[in-house]
C-alpha cells in the first residue's frame, strides 16, 4: 500500500481552508490533508497531545501567519526550538506580503514563503507547484 503525502494545513479562515482543500482535490496530486485552526492546535497535533494523540506526522506543513490564539510566527518560533519538530518542512501560505514577515519566517526556519493567491485558478497553480516540488522533486525528511 502506497502512503499518500500528508499535509497539515494550519489556517483559521474557513473560506481559505475550503479553497485550499478544493485546490488539492482538483490538483494532479493525491494527498491526505489534515486541518487545524490555530497555532496552539498545530503544536498539539505535531506533538500528538490532547485530541491528537493518534495523529500521523505530516510530510509538509502549510502555515498561515495571522491567526488567533497562537499565530504562525509563534508556531515557527516554537518549531525552531523543538529538536523533534524543526526537521518538518514548513511552507508559509499567508495573505501577508510584508518584508518583515518574509524575513522573520525564513529566520525561524520556514522552507518557503508564498502569498496566498486571491484567484482560484492561481491558487490551483500554486497548490500544484507546491505538490510537484515537495512530493516529486524534493526529498522529504524520513518520518
Model confidence at 128, pLDDT cuts 50, 70, 90, reads very high
CATH, residue 11: 3.40.50.2300
| 142 within domain boundaries | no
Q: What number is the average pLDDT over the span 112-127?
A: 93
pLDDT of residue 143: 75
For residue range 45-72, list pLDDT tens digits in order: 999 999 999 999 999 999 999 999 999 9
Lookup result for grid cell 510566527: 73
| 131 within domain boundaries | yes
CA 90, CA 61: separation in Å to the nearest integer? Answer: 5
In angstroms, what CA-CA distances link 54 with 30, 63, 138?
22, 21, 27
Tell me whether strands 6-10 and 90-94 are parallel, antiparallel or unpaired. unpaired
pLDDT of residue 2: 60
| Total domain count, the chain | 1
In angstroms, what CA-CA distances link 132 with 4, 55, 84?
13, 25, 26
- The C-alpha cell at 96 is 501577508
| 116 within domain boundaries | yes
| 128 within domain boundaries | yes
For residue range 73-100, list pLDDT tens digits in order: 999 999 999 999 999 999 999 999 999 9
pLDDT of residue 64: 97
Model confidence at 1, pLDDT cuts 50, 70, 90, reads low
pLDDT of residue 85: 95
For residue range 4-25, list pLDDT tens digits in order: 899 999 999 999 999 999 999 9
pTM here is 0.94
DSSP 8-state symbol, 87:
T
Other Cβ atoms closer than 10 A to 82: 14
| 1 within domain boundaries | no
| 52 within domain boundaries | yes
CA 4, CA 143: separation in Å to the nearest integer? Answer: 13
Amino acid at each position: 500500500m502506497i502512503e499518500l503525502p500528508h499535509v497539515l494545513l494550519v489556517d483559521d479562515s474557513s473560506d481559505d481552508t475550503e479553497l485550499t482543500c478544493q485546490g488539492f482535490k482538483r490538483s494532479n496530486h493525491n494527498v491526505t490533508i489534515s486541518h487545524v485552526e490555530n497555532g496552539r492546535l498545530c503544536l498539539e497535533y505535531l506533538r500528538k497531545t490532547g485530541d491528537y494523540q493518534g495523529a500521523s506526522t505530516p510530510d509538509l506543513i502549510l502555515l498561515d501567519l495571522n491567526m488567533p490564539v497562537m499565530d504562525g510566527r509563534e508556531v515557527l518560533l516554537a518549531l525552531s526550538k523543538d529538536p523533534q519538530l524543526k526537521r518538518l518542512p514548513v511552507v508559509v501560505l499567508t495573505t501577508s506580503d510584508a518584508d518583515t514577515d518574509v524575513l522573520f519566517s525564513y529566520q525561524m526556519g520556514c522552507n518557503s514563503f508564498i502569498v496566498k493567491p486571491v484567484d482560484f485558478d492561481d491558487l490551483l497553480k500554486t497548490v500544484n507547484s507546491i505538490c510537484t516540488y515537495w512530493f516529486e522533486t524534493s526529498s522529504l525528511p524520513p518520518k
